Amino acid sequence: MKPTQSDPTVQPVPAAVVAAVDAADTTLSNPRWAVLALGANLGNRLENLQGAVDALGDTPGLRVKVVSPVYETEPWGVEPDSQPSYLNAVALVKTTLPPSSLLERAHAVEEAFLRVRDERWGARTLDVDIITYADVVSDDPVLTLPHPRAHQRAFVLAPWHDADPEAQLPGHGPVAALLAAVDRAGVTPRTDLELRLPE
């Protein structure tokens, strides 16, 4: 006797199911959201930022889910015109890496782009900072979470708000409100530039 329904294993999978599976982090078990700030003011700045996004995307246990628009910004904490301007962006990632391993990976990506740590706030080919990791709050001097100065920095808040208008900075509140309270002078959208998600 034939079954009344055909074998479901040979049926085409509905497009909606395929999309749902593709959107799910099937390779990540219990992932956490993290926010990474990217910056470069030496070399080919856009290529360096895109290289960072791609390198992060190649990291086991990490998926880059959103990349913000690009901003051109004046250097922070230095004399005017003493350094080239930065390109800045923010990446929202899902990861199963613990914060310490994520920091190690961020430093490894910086080093791959010949980042030199000679001076605080010095010019650099690439800067990858962890801004938040889930809702973790930590005063560990090696990795303070959230980033202790993120709430003051328009070059972090502006692209982050673009990437996630509902974002919250733990301990400080909505990114939208923080952005409204800081000086945005010298932080300019570069609508002619774009970063791509890793393929």
Instruction: Assess whether 127 carries a catalytic annotation.
Output: yes
Cα 90 from Cα 70, distance rounded (Å): 8
- According to DSSP, the residues that pair with 133 across neighbouring strands are 34
**CA-based nearest residue to 136, from 177, 180, 95, 181:** 95
Of the residues 32, 105, 129, 164, which is catalytic?
A: 129
Q: Structure tokens of 80?
A: 């005017």
Of the residues 45, 115, 162, 164, which is catalytic?
A: 115
Instruction: Assess whether 7 carries a catalytic annotation.
Output: no
Contact 105, 96 (CB under 8 A): no
Cα 173 from Cα 170, distance rounded (Å): 6
Of the residues 124, 153, 162, 164, which is catalytic?
A: 124
Instruction: Assess whether 58 carries a catalytic annotation.
Output: no
Instruction: Assess whether 184 carries a catalytic annotation.
Output: no
Contact 49, 38 (CB under 8 A): yes
**What is the 8-class DSSP label of residue 24?**
S
Which residues carry out catalysis? 115, 124, 127, 129
